[in-house]
């Protein structure tokens, strides 16, 4: 319980402390390229995310970053627990925004930082709005930004992955960018498996898998691509357990 209270206090203090950096990050230098802009505005969020994970006493092992193309990509990751977001944001070197549920927009400061790093919000209860937001996501990719999606749509809590929803894959197809599968293991041990009553330290494993060219959409339907990507991630997770 003490560690949970400490963690909540840590979040509040660090988010408030980030406000000067937030104001600075909102000032766009028109001379920057997209890549330069993303590198600049992601510096503080990435440091914060690493500090969040470190504050729990957890360790992170990430492999495979050499597979990430030097171009905009759609990262596709399984969703094990709440700590997936800071673990991925803090340890994948390439800057990216998230496709996030719209409810996060209600959280002050967090919402503002998510806007700065280029996140897209989806209302899963409004199909028309979801389609519109996916178009916005494709637009982000076309501009040169990268995004990450959790196609399960909910956390697996360390159990079996839920079937991947294919809708999010459309933004990679529409933007003609590669898909980079990512497997993550260990985050649910830190919070969800404690019935969300305490935060404990854990060991997080992240594996970035080889990129899949957007040419795959010329041969396969969206649902088939989603199944293939899920199989690759499942195989990586299985290897982590052996």
Please give the residue that has the higher pLDDT: either 23 or 229.
229
pLDDT at 242: 59
What confidence tier does 47 reach under pLDDT thresholds 50, 70, 90? very high
Taking the CA of residue 132 as centre, how many other CA atoms within 13 Å lie in the half-sphere pointing to its CB?
Answer: 7
pLDDT at 15: 72
For the chain, domain boundaries: 2-240
- Rounded to two decimals, the pTM is 0.90
Cross-strand pairs, 62: 206
- What is the rounded average pLDDT of the residues 218-233? 95
Q: Give the pLDDT confidence of 152-187 residue by residue, as tens digits.
A: 987 877 778 899 999 899 999 999 999 999 999 999
Q: According to CATH, what is the number of the domain 2-240?
A: 3.40.1130
């Amino acid at each position: 319980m003490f560690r949970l209270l400490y963690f909540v206090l840590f979040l509040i203090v660090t988010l408030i402390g980030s406000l000067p950096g937030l104001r600075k990050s909102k000032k766009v230098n028109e001379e920057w390229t997209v890549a330069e802009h993303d590198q600049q505005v992601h510096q503080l969020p990435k440091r914060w995310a690493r500090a969040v994970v470190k504050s729990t006493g957890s360790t992170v092992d990430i492999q495979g970053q050499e597979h990430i193309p030097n171009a905009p990509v759609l990262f596709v990751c399984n969703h094990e627990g709440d700590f997936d977001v800071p673990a991925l944001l803090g340890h994948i070197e390439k800057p990216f925004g998230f496709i996030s549920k719209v409810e996060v927009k209600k959280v002050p400061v967090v919402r503002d930082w998510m806007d700065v790093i280029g996140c897209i919000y989806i209302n899963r209860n409004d199909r028309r709005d979801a389609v519109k937001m996916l178009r916005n996501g494709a637009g982000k990719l076309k501009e040169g930004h990268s995004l990450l999606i959790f196609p399960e749509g909910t956390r697996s809590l360390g159990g079996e992955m839920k079937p991947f929803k294919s809708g999010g894959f459309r933004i990679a197809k529409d933007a003609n960018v590669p898909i980079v599968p990512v497997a993550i293991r260990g985050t649910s041990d830190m919070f969800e498996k404690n019935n969300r009553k305490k935060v404990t330290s854990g060991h997080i494993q992240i594996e970035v898998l080889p990129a899949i060219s957007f040419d795959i959409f010329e041969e396969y339907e969206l649902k088939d691509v989603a199944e293939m990507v899920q199989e690759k991630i499942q195989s990586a997770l299985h290897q982590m357990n052996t």
